[in-house]
C-alpha cells in the first residue's frame, strides 16, 4: 500500500526587509498578503506596533479622531502578509554587504530591502530643543505628547514653522484647547512668512482661519532659544510656551549619511523604479526618498501611489520580471484642515473652503484607513488560515488526554523526588538536588528571535517555580524548510536571542539538537540547583492569600492574532511581558510562598486545581481582582478562544458564574505568571516588593478549607 505523505512547504530562500512602517510599506504588506510569494520571507522593522497616518493627524490633534483611528496596525498587517514584524530601530545599513543593525538586537542580512522611514522635523540646532521641544515628525511621539499635554490642562503653545504642516497643527491645537475649556495662547512662528509656497488667495484664507482659531502669527521672527515655559526670539521678545513644537520642513535622518547609499541633501537618491542609484538591492520610498527622475515636494499622496510600483518591482527582482517606473503626478489635491471641521482645498490654482470639504477629506482618509484594516478573510485553502491548533503555549495536549497517557508510568526511582503534578523532576545527586524540566513552543510569532526568548523564559518558569537556580539548557529546534544560507541565519538569530535570555538567568546553553519540519518549533531542557527543599504544589494552607504575578489572556490574544481579529498594540504588550524574565519575582516569592507554580497551558483554573489537590484544600478566586491583558476581556466577550480552552474547561472542577472573566480562567498561558500561596500576614509586603520590580502582580483570591472546593466569585 502506498502511504500519502503531506508535502513540506517550499523552502524559504530569500529575505526581503521593509525598513519603516510608512504608508507605502503598509500598502505593500496588504498587497503581499493578497498574493504572497512562495520561498520569500518578508520582514518589516518599525519602532512601534502601529504607525500614525499623516492625513488624520490634524484631526486627531483637534479632537475629531481617537488615537486608535489614527494608527495603522502594522502587527495585524504583518500577520495578514505572513510577514514578521520586528519592533526596533535600524541604526546602520551596510549597503555593500546587504546587512543592517537593529538597536539592542544585532545584525540582520537581506537580499532586498526597502526604506520608508519618513522624515523628522526635530530641530536640534535651536538651543533648548532637545530638553524642551518636540518635533511634529515623527508623528507618534508628538501625538503621544500632545494627548498627555491636553489631558493635563494644556498651556501656552508655540509652533515653529508656518508651512502647511505647522499651520494645520497650530489651528488644531488652538481649537482643541478651546473646546476643552483651556484658555491658553497659541503662537505660530516663522523666520519668513506664512506658507510662501501657496498662492496669495490661499494664504489669505489661512490667515483668516488662524484669526478665527485665535492663533497669533509671528512672521519674520527668528527663534533664539526654547526654554521650559517660553520661546525666546532673537529680537528679544519672549513668547509664553509650555509645549513648543517644531515643524520646520523636511529633515532627513542623519544616520542615512553613513549607509554608503547615494544621498542628496540627506535623502536617498532613487531612480524611476524607486531603486537606489548606487545599490540596486535597496529601494526607498516616501519622504525619505529623493526622486532623481521627477523631483516632488514631500507629500503623502506620492507615498500612497508609489506602493503598487514598489510591490511590483520587489517581486520583479525576485522572479526575474521587468520592473515598472513610477511617474508621480505634477499637481495634486491639497486638503488643509482648519482646526474645526472645515478644510481648504487647493489644486491647479483653484481654491475652496468650508465644512463640506472637511467631510470630503474625512471620507478620503477613512477610506484609506479602511483599506488597511478591513482585510479580506483568508480562505480555507490558504495555509496561513489553519486554525486546527492555536500556537499559544506550544499547542499543548489537553489535561485529560495527558493524564491518561502518563497514568501507567512507573513510580519514581529512589533518586527522583517527583510528586504527581509537580512542575519538574527533582533528582538526588549525592547530597545535592537538581531540578530537570523541558518545554517547547510552536511559532505563534513569525520572529524566531522573539520566539526563542519567550520559549526560554517559558521553560525557565518550571525551574524558578521550584525555587531552583538555573544551570544549563539544551536546545531542541525544528526549522521550517530553508536554504542552507538561511538555516545558518535563522539559527544564529535564535541562538543569540536564547543565549542572552539564559545568560540573564545565570544559565548557559551547552548544546542541543536541530531538525527540519513544517514549521518553526523551539524548546529547551533546563536544569537548576536547589539549595534546600523544593517548592511544590503541596504546602498551601487555608487562609493563605493567592498571588498572580502576570495578567491573564495571552491565549485569547494569540488566537485572535491568528484569526486577524485582535489589535496589534494589545498583542505587543502581551509579547513584551512574555519576553520579560520573572527571576526576581520567583526569588521573592520563594522567601514566603507555601506553594508555588507557574501558570501555563492548563490555565489559571487548572494550575490552581492542581495546587489545591496537592495541598488537600480548596480555593476561591476573586474574578474582579484578576489582572488581565488589555484587549483580552473584549476578545473573550466576543467568543474568541484558544483551541485548548474546551479541554481546560472540562478538566477543572470549578464552580463559577458565567462570563468572560470566568472564561479567562481556562485560557492557556504562554510564559504566564507565577501563582503563589502566601501567608496572609505577608501578602501586602510581598505584593509591593514584586510590583516594585515592575511586575503586574495582584492578590486574586485565597485558599479555603477542602470542604469549600474550588470556586470563583
Which of 609, 603, 599, 597 is closest to 645 using CA atoms?
Answer: 603
Distance CA 20, CA 71 (A): 14
Type and span of the H or E element at 702: strand 698-704
Q: Check: CB of residue 662 under 8 Å from CB of residue 712.
A: yes
Q: Are residues 62 and 170 in the same domain?
A: no
Q: What tens digit of pLDDT does each residue of 289-307 get? A: 999 998 888 777 888 999 9
Q: Are residues 229 and 305 in the same domain?
A: no
pLDDT of residue 411: 64
Distance CA 276, CA 115 (A): 10
Residues in the chain, pLDDT under 50: 1, 379-388, 394, 420
Q: Are residues 521 and 427 in the same domain?
A: yes
Instruction: Report if residue 378 sits inside a domain.
Output: no
Q: Are residues 173 and 217 in the same domain?
A: yes
Domain count, the chain: 4
Q: Are residues 635 and 693 in the same domain?
A: yes
Which of 195, 203, 187, 125 is closest to 162 using CA atoms?
Answer: 195
Instruction: Report if residue 412 sits inside a domain.
Output: no
CATH code of residue 237: 3.50.50.60
CATH code of residue 494: 3.30.1330.10
pLDDT of residue 331: 83
Distance CA 629, CA 632 (A): 6
Q: Are residues 327 and 225 in the same domain?
A: no
CATH code of residue 698: 3.90.650.10
Three-class SS state of 37: coil
Q: Are residues 256 and 242 in the same domain?
A: no
Instruction: Report if residue 347 sits inside a domain.
Output: no
Question: Can you list the alpha helix ranges (DSSP code H) found in 374-442?
Answer: 399-406
DSSP state of 120: B
Helix 583-590 to helix 448-465 angle (10° resolution) is: 10
Q: Which of 206, 227, 246 is the last residue of a domain?
A: 246
Q: Are residues 263 and 231 in the same domain?
A: no
290: cell is 529623493
Q: How many Cα atoms occupy the beta-carbon half-sphere of 104 within 13 Å?
A: 6
Q: Are residues 218 and 297 in the same domain?
A: no
Q: Which residue(s) pair with 243 in the sheet?
A: 157
Q: What tens digit of pLDDT does each residue of 658-683 get? A: 999 999 999 999 999 999 999 999 99
Instruction: Report if residue 6 sits inside a domain.
Output: no
Distance CA 442, CA 451 (A): 8
Q: Which of 507, 535, 563 is the last residue of a domain?
A: 535
> How many other C-beta atoms can be found within 10 angstroms of the C-beta atom of residue 458?
27
Distance CA 20, CA 137 (A): 14
Instruction: Report if residue 149 sits inside a domain.
Output: yes
Instruction: Report if residue 265 sits inside a domain.
Output: yes
Q: Check: CB of residue 143 under 8 Å from CB of residue 67.
A: yes
Q: Check: CB of residue 416 under 8 Å from CB of residue 428.
A: yes
Distance CA 148, CA 116 (A): 28
The torsion region of residue 60 among left (phi > 0), alpha (psi -120 to 50) and beta comes to alpha
Which of 368, 354, 358 is closest to 64 using CA atoms?
Answer: 358
Q: Are residues 147 and 220 in the same domain?
A: yes
Q: What tens digit of pLDDT does each residue of 525-566 get? A: 999 999 988 999 999 999 999 999 999 999 999 999 999 999
Three-class SS state of 122: coil
Q: Are residues 712 and 637 in the same domain?
A: yes
Q: Which residue(s) pair with 233 in the sheet?
A: 223
Distance CA 319, CA 37 (A): 9
Instruction: Report if residue 545 sits inside a domain.
Output: yes
Q: Which of 535, 555, 586 is the last residue of a domain?
A: 535
**Which residues are designated catalytic?**
393
Q: Are residues 549 and 646 in the same domain?
A: yes
**DSSP letter string, 490-531:** HHHHHHHHHHHHHHHTT-EEEEEEEEE-SS-EEEEEEEEEES
Domain that holds residue 448: 423-535
Instruction: Report if residue 45 sits inside a domain.
Output: yes
pLDDT of residue 1: 46
Amino acid at each position: 500500500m502506498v502511504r500519502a505523505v503531506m508535502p513540506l512547504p517550499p523552502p524559504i530562500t530569500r529575505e526581503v526587509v521593509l525598513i519603516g512602517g510608512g504608508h507605502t510599506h503598509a500598502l505593500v504588506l496588504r498587497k503581499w498578503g493578497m498574493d504572497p510569494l512562495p520561498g520569500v520571507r518578508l520582514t518589516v522593522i518599525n519602532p512601534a506596533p502601529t504607525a500614525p497616518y499623516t492625513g488624520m493627524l490634524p484631526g486627531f490633534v483637534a479632537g475629531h479622531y481617537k488615537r486608535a483611528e489614527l494608527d495603522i496596525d502594522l502587527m495585524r498587517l504583518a500577520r495578514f502578509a505572513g510577514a514578521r514584524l520586528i519592533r526596533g530601530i535600524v541604526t546602520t545599513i551596510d549597503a555593500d554587504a546587504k546587512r543592517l543593525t537593529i538597536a539592542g538586537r544585532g545584525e540582520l542580512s537581506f537580499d532586498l530591502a526597502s526604506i520608508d522611514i519618513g522624515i523628522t522635523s526635530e530641530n536640534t540646532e535651536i538651543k533648548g530643543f532637545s530638553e524642551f521641544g518636540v518635533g511634529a515628525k515623527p508623528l507618534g511621539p508628538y501625538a503621544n505628547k500632545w494627548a498627555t499635554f491636553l489631558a493635563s490642562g494644556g498651556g501656552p503653545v508655540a509652533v515653529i514653522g508656518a508651512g502647511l504642516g505647522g499651520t494645520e497643527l497650530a489651528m488644531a491645537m488652538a481649537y482643541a484647547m478651546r473646546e476643552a475649556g483651556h484658555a491658553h495662547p497659541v503662537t505660530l512662528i516663522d523666520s519668513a512668512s506664512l506658507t510662501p509656497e501657496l498662492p496669495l488667495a490661499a494664504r489669505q484664507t489661512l490667515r483668516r482661519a488662524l484669526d478665527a482659531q485665535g492663533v497669533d502669527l509671528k512672521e519674520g521672527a527668528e527663534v533664539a532659544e526654547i526654554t521650559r515655559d517660553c520661546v525666546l526670539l532673537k529680537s528679544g521678545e519672549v513668547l509664553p510656551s509650555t509645549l513648543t513644537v517644531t515643524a520646520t520642513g523636511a529633515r532627513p535622518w542623519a544616520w542615512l549619511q553613513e549607509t554608503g547609499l547615494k544621498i542628496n541633501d540627506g535623502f536617498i537618491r532613487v531612480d524611476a523604479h524607486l531603486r537606489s542609484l548606487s545599490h540596486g538591492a535597496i529601494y526607498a520610498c516616501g519622504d525619505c526618498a529623493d526622486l532623481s527622475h521627477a523631483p516632488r515636494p514631500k507629500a503623502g499622496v506620492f507615498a500612497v501611489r508609489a506602493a503598487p510600483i514598489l510591490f511590483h518591482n520587489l517581486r520583479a527582482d525576485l522572479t526575474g520580471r521587468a520592473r515598472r517606473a513610477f511617474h508621480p503626478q505634477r499637481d495634486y489635491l491639497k486638503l488643509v484642515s482648519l482646526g474645526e471641521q472645515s478644510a481648504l482645498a487647493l489644486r491647479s490654482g483653484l481654491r475652496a473652503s468650508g465644512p463640506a470639504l472637511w467631510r470630503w477629506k474625512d471620507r478620503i482618509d477613512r477610506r484609506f484607513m479602511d483599506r488597511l484594516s478591513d482585510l479580506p478573510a483568508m480562505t480555507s485553502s490558504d495555509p496561513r488560515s489553519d486554525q486546527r491548533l492555536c500556537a499559544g503555549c506550544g499547542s499543548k495536549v489537553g489535561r485529560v488526554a495527558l493524564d491518561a497517557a502518563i497514568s501507567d508510568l512507573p513510580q519514581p526511582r529512589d533518586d527522583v523526588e517527583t510528586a504527581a503534578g509537580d512542575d519538574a523532576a527533582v533528582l538526588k545527586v549525592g547530597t545535592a538536588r537538581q531540578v530537570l524540566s523541558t518545554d517547547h513552543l510552536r511559532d505563534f510569532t513569525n520572529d524566531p528571535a522573539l520566539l526563542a526568548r519567550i520559549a526560554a523564559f517559558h521553560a525557565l518558569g518550571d525551574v524558578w517555580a521550584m525555587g531552583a537556580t538555573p544551570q544549563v539548557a539544551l536546545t531542541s529546534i525544528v526549522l521550517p524548510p530553508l536554504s542552507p544560507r538561511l538555516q545558518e541565519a535563522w539559527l544564529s538569530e535564535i541562538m543569540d536571542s536564547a543565549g542572552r535570555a539564559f545568560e540573564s538567568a545565570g544559565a548557559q546553553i551547552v548544546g542541543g539538537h536541530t531538525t527540519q519540519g513544517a514549521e518553526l518549533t523551539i524548546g529547551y531542557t533546563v536544569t537548576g540547583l536547589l539549595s534546600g527543599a523544593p517548592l511544590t504544589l503541596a504546602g498551601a494552607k487555608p487562609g493563605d492569600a493567592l498571588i498572580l504575578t502576570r495578567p491573564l489572556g495571552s491565549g485569547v490574544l494569540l488566537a485572535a492574532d491568528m484569526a486577524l481579529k485582535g489589535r496589534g498594540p494589545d498583542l505587543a504588550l502581551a509579547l513584551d511581558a512574555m519576553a520579560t524574565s520573572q527571576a526576581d519575582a520567583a526569588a521573592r516569592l520563594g522567601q514566603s510562598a507555601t506553594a508555588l507554580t507557574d501558570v501555563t497551558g492548563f490555565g489559571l483554573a487548572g494550575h490552581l486545581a492542581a495546587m489545591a489537590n496537592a495541598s488537600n484544600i480548596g480555593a476561591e478566586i476573586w474574578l474582579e481582582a484578576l489582572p488581565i491583558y488589555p484587549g483580552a476581556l473584549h476578545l473573550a466577550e466576543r467568543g474568541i478562544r484558544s483551541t485548548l480552552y474546551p479541554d481546560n474547561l472540562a478538566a477543572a472542577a470549578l464552580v463559577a458564574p458565567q462570563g468572560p472573566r470566568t472564561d479567562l480562567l481556562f485560557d492557556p498561558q504562554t510564559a504566564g505568571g507565577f501563582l503563589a500561596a502566601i501567608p496572609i500576614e505577608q501578602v501586602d509586603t510581598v505584593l509591593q516588593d514584586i510590583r516594585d520590580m515592575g511586575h503586574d502582580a495582584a492578590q486574586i483570591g485565597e485558599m479555603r478549607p477542602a470542604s469549600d472546593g474550588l470556586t470563583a466569585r
